[in-house]
Amino acid sequence: MQVFEGLAAVPREFGPSAVTIGKFDGVHPGHRAVIAELKSVAAVEHLVAAVVTFDRNPLSLLAPDKCPESLVSNAKKIELLEAAGVDATLVLEFDLALSSQQPEEFVQSVLVDALHARVIFVGADFRFGARGSGNVELLDRLGREHGFEVRHIPEIAAAGTNSRRASSTWIRELLTEGDVATAAAQLGRLHSIRSTVVHGEQRGRELGYPTANLSPDLEGFIPRDGVYAAWATVPAGRFGAAVSIGNNPTFEGVPQKQVEAHLLDQKLDLYGDTIELEFVDYIRPMQKFESADALAGQMRVDEQRIRAILDRPREQRSALPT
């Protein structure tokens, strides 16, 4: 997949293309359904299947107090778009200049001059240009002027429901509640975070459960505090893991939202390595124990339950007793 960081990076000979535009946070099944239709049309009409997205949520500039935390980093979003089969992705810097563009200017500079669009896929509530002044009706009219067709994207129902639309907002709500299993069903894959392993206080090692401490400068939306069954991918491979999120109230001085992973049956030197954690199921909330021995005893119970969860087919995982 070609990735263009800004309009200047798009070669003059690019296209013609079929284009869809959006934040694509999480690249969930609703997004992937749109991309599948985009690819199908592009193949039939001999066009390049292209996505236009942004380097940040526009709300981070327009209404910071209302801007949600992203589900995935830009790097992960690019990986997911490539996995979905997109031919090219244009990442626009959402700065003051872009936010101030009139709708007609956006269409001319991005869709016509840069991407040579012939087909554009947008949802019924699509807005673009300064203060969201452009809508689908205006885009239809501009399409007739510039020679591109606007096709409307139907709403995609979330997995397991006919009443709620697949959305990044709902997935974010589920992760905030710790319901990573339902979030995985809505994403169509396990939710993950990624960071670098850094040195910690080695309390886990003293308890018989050495952990990889993730740098707080990590990629991805961190689920609710608690203990989780997960898969950990490191340079040596992919392993089952017990993951702890929170400040571990049994001990003093542990940072808020500390993320630690104990890799089952592994003794690896991971300092400085990149680690990606994929969340499978929620085990229990973070809690304070009377002693380190009591915590170690609970960790042994957690480990057995995590092993059982990771050994079971996906459809049976959430049916385990709490």
Provide the pLDDT for residue 209: 77
CB neighbourhood size of 297 (10 A): 13
* pTM (two decimals): 0.86
CB 239 within 8 A of CB 264: yes
The single-letter DSSP state of residue 253 is: S
Counting Cα atoms < 13 Å in the Cβ hemisphere of 201 gives: 12
**Distances in Å between the alpha carbon of 89 and those of 18, 58, 63, 86, 177?**
12, 17, 25, 7, 32
Q: Which two tokens stand for residue 65?
A: 């107090």
Which segments in the chain show pLDDT lower than 50?
Answer: 315-322
Provide the pLDDT for residue 167: 87
Q: Which two tokens stand for residue 18?
A: 């079929």
Distance CA 205, CA 15 (A): 56
Residue 196: is it exposed, middle or buried by C-beta count within 10 angstroms (0-12/13-18/19+)?
middle
- CA 315 distance to own-chain centroid: 22
Provide the pLDDT for residue 299: 85
Distance CA 88, CA 81 (A): 9
The domains of the chain, with CATH numbers, are: 2-153 (3.40.50.620), 192-317 (2.40.30.30)
CB 268 within 8 A of CB 280: no
Distance CA 112, CA 316 (A): 50
